[in-house]
A and B are shown apart, each in its own frame.
Chain A
Amino acid sequence: MEKAEAASPLGRFCAEFSESRVAVAALAVVVLVIGLAVLAPLFAPQDPYDIGKLVLGDARRPPGFVGAGGYVHWLGTDAQGRDLLSAILYGLRISVQIGVAAGAIAFAVGATLGATAAFMGGRVEILIMRFIDLQLSFPAILLALVLSAILGQGKGQLIAALVAAQYAYFARTAHGAASAERAKDYVVAALSTPMPASRVVFRHILPNCLPPLIVVATVQIANSIALEATLSFLGLGLPVTHPSLGMLIANGFQYMLSGRYWISIYPGVALIVLILAINLVGDQIRDQLNPRLKR
């Protein structure tokens, strides 16, 4: 207790976090995977996007095969003769990029909408929140599917579709937290001065709504990575020349029954490990930020 009082709030948070081995391991995995994804060009034996380097004769080779490039394909090759390890690293890169970008934009849009609704009250609040309720009443995947079909292929379009499907969760959470803050005296006091209303929302209300939003953010980043993989699996994500994890899984799917399991399984394992690790980190943060679960 004495130690905890001396530390800053952030220091205390970190100390508490490090008490959970599972969470620390999960965080290590997240950092490792994101590090590998960001630095993929340094680690990957092959540039999977350079079609000129692909040798069709090396297609669908099992793990451990030494191909025409002169290096070992540790995880085998896919139907186009791509080194699967390289393809997975580059695929992770796309998944993480899109997941984080979509999560961050959905966070900004959703939190602003939710806090504004709670702040304004009246008709504005009803309009915004009922629209969000309406959207939440049908599956996110359906919305993302329709939108990416309309918008077409490409990273930007994919992120837009994911944001549209996910901002609602942030808005709901922000609205709940902001409604509680709105009634507190410090907000009343800030409003009684000439301070502009937007400043009250962004400097006073939103920062106090952050804890639940951070928890939603971790979950939603994992969700948007999964959603992106789903869209790509269904062929609505990125072009075939830039395979993300979902598309790699889809491409290998047809070879599963002929015994060439590695084309689908390894990208699938990478995806599961990443999403599981992010969710475990998110669970720990939620437990720590929830005062009811405090020991």
Chain B
Amino acid sequence: MSAPLLQVRDLATHFFMREGVAKAVDGVSFELGQGEILGLVGESGSGKSVTGYSLLGLVDPPGRIVAGSIKLNGQELVGLPQAELRRMRGRRMAMVFQDPMTTLNPVLTVATQIKYAIGAHESVSAKAGRARAIDVLTRVGIPDAAARLDDYPHQFSGGMRQRVAIAIALLNRPDMIVADEPTTALDVSIQAQILAEMKSLVRDLGTALIWISHDLAAVSALAGRIMVMYAGRIVEYGPTAAVLRAPRHPYTRGLLDSLPMRAEPGQELAQIPGAPPSLAALPPGCPFHPRCPSADAICQTAPATTASGGRGWRCHHPLLDGAA
């Protein structure tokens, strides 16, 4: 395989607040190949969204990337001036936000917003711009795109709006799209449609996709590889099927067990006891140990990452195959 599209090394993004330093992302490393779909999973506050924002250089103060390197096509993004990043966003990397209700400007038609998004990077004739807008809207599955182009966002349903947002992200054919929980605000059937469409779009266009979600089920339907984050670190990664079949980290196991479809009807849902730790005051050693069923004294020291056969985990007591 040639050099990966995206190479992230020891990325750390910290938020400097009065209460202390919140280490939202603390030493994250991964690679992303061309056209690959990577799922990034974790609870709220695990640092998965901040990781996504960091990749596009969208972290606002008091947050800051304090260490590490992000290379897109070999070009270092950390430390690049904002003006340069602005030129790259949309064209080489794009983002889809979580809430489709606020990602579109309510007073401009979809056609105008798409025109702005194209115009931000190149100048095209009104006619060519329109043709391109119709093309991307059709691709994301909006029926009768030519007629819907002059509608305002409020005339679209939530699922359709998110499709428009995805269309705008695809507009300039970026190498990589970061999607931050784009289907969380939508209902399940729409979610499934969008997941299926995303999958074929990415395959057709060769765009790499990082799909951030707390929903293991949604990610497993889409991503070839997943990473599980906890307290700003990647605790487990590997091919989706392998990780789901035999999780190594007790946290991944806990996430899987708490999926409603794993429970018998009427049975109480399994849950991970406790809540994610405050990122400003992490427990010593493995940050998961206060909630972990297999924790013991050694967990007071930080575990190293064990890598084997394309998988990796960060745990002193990894679960064994078939330890259900």
Contact = CB atoms under 8 A, between A and B. Distances in A.
A102 to B, nearest CB: 27
B120 A195 contact: yes
Contacts of A203: 108, 116
Nearest to A189: B103
A204 B105 contact: yes
B106 A195 contact: no
Nearest to A204: B105
B103 A194 contact: no
B56 interface: yes
A295 interface: no
Contact of A186 (B56, B87, B98, B102): B102
Interface string A91-133: 0000000000000000000000000000000000000000000
A36 B108 CA distance: 37
A185 B117 contact: no
Contacts of B83: 194
Q: Chain A interface residue count: which class?
A: 10 to 19
Contact of A194 (B58, B86, B98, B105): B86
B133 to A, nearest CB: 16
A208 interface: yes
Given A185-B97, A188-B58, A193 B117 contact: yes
Contacts of B121: 193-194
B105 A193 contact: no
Chain B at the A interface: SS class: loop
Chain A at the B interface: SS class: helix
Contacts of A258: none
A184 interface: yes
Contacts of A193: 86, 89-90, 116-117, 120-121
Interface string A165-204: 0000000000000000000111011101111000000011
Contacts of B108: 203-204, 207
B117 A186 contact: no
Contacts of B56: 192
Interface in B157-189: none
Nearest to A183: B102
A190 B86 CA distance: 10
Interface residues of B, number: 24
B86 A208 contact: no
Given A188-B58, A192-B56, A194-B121, A208 B105 contact: yes
Nearest to A184: B102
Nearest to B105: A186
Contacts, number: 50
**Which of B95, B102, B120 has the most chain A CB atoms inside 10 A of its CB?**
B102
Interface in B100-123: 102-108, 116-117, 120-121
B104 A186 contact: yes
A191 to B, nearest CB: 8
A183 to B, nearest CB: 9
A140 B108 CA distance: 36
B197 interface: no
A185 B99 contact: yes
Contact of A185 (B85, B102, B107): B102
B103 A185 contact: yes
A185 B180 CA distance: 12
A208 B107 contact: yes
Nearest to A122: B61
Contacts of B58: 188, 192
Nearest to A199: B116
Contact of A189 (B97, B98, B107): B97
A190 B119 CA distance: 12
Interface in B43-97: 56, 58, 83, 85-87, 89-90, 95, 97
Nearest to A207: B107
B97 A194 contact: no
5 contacts: A185-B98, A189-B97, A192-B85, A203-B116, A210-B107
Given A192-B56, A192-B85, A195-B120, 10 more contacts: A185-B97, A185-B102, A185-B103, A189-B97, A193-B86, A193-B89, A193-B117, A193-B121, A194-B120, A208-B106
Interface of A: 9, 184-186, 188-190, 192-195, 203-204, 207-208, 210
The 5 closest A-B pairs by CB, nearest first: A193-B120, A184-B102, A185-B97, A185-B103, A207-B107
